[in-house]
Amino acid sequence: MNDPAGIKIYDSNDVSIFGNIIEDNFFGIYLQYTTNCKIFNNRIRSHGTQEQEIGNGIHCWKSDSIQIIANTIEGHRDGIYFEFVTNSIIWRNISLKNLRYGLHFMFSHNDAYIANLFKQNGAGVAVMFTHGVKMYNNTFTENWGDASYGLLLKEISDSYIEGNVFDKNTTGIFIEGASRVQVKKNIFSSNGWAIKIQASSMDVNVCQNNFFGNTFDVSTNGSLVLNNFNGNYWDKYTGYDLNKDKKGDIPFHPINLYSMIIEKNPPAMILFRSIIVNLLDQSEKVIPSLTPENLVDEFPIMKPLPL
């Protein structure tokens, strides 16, 4: 197998790659067995139409202490790809119109992803089989498709997702097999689903987030919920605050019966906005039977948080 690239770095340390225009290559920048390298202020663009015919914009494999800063990556398979990359930072990059993911990383521990834009990719970001992830102040927007997410979390632990904006994605965050993850002070707006969380996840703390204009705020595939959803603002909350402590006096159940039905039978989406669906959801509120009782925000916030 040959992996042609605009720039390749093998078995090297302390290399800086900056200020380049890398146009219409298979891989843009390819790093392997490197330490303490810096990739900044490059423009990397290709024109891939199928995933198997194009490589990644910035591809890093078995490396440590990498800095990827202020690059623009467009039209590759994955904008940025990490595998077995540790103690690294991805900061202020723009990754857009890539075929698969804006950022894709696996088995890459103790890395930070800060203030990046992931726009109009096949899916925004995929985080798999990783611990110690810090994702702060990123924007995930317009990542649309039947299997598309702003952020996909699969088998991750001890991580932080804070201060991000999830806007106009099919699914804001999809969480599967995650544990001890903080999802805090994020904005979820105009997504199909704000959060899909599978029953295989536990100790996921979703708190102090704002939920605006999402078709569905939360969806899950099971009845047992081992996660916390307290202290969020939900625009669908219709409760009251008689004691004026800025918290709702009655709990909010962010998951409705119709979203549970769609999770098991996707073709039921054709009934969206029908009177049948309204009747189902209203009856479920009066006599809960199928939605998970413990997926509840006990202290919903009355006004949007100033994030």
Domains defined for the chain, CATH in brackets: 5-286 (2.160.20.10)
Question: Measuring CA to CA, how many Å separate 82 from each of 1, 92, 111, 201, 210?
Answer: 19, 17, 10, 24, 30
In this prediction, residues 194-205 reach a mean pLDDT of 93
- Confidence bin at 208 (pLDDT 50/70/90): very high
In this prediction, residues 69-93 reach a mean pLDDT of 97
What is the pLDDT at residue 285?
A: 57
Given a cut of 90, whether residue 256 has pLDDT beyond it is no
Given a cut of 60, whether residue 288 has pLDDT beyond it is no
Given a cut of 70, whether residue 269 has pLDDT beyond it is no
- Confidence bin at 273 (pLDDT 50/70/90): low
Given a cut of 90, whether residue 281 has pLDDT beyond it is no
Per-residue pLDDT reduced to its tens digit, 116-140: 999 999 989 999 999 999 999 999 9
More confident residue, 275 or 119: 119
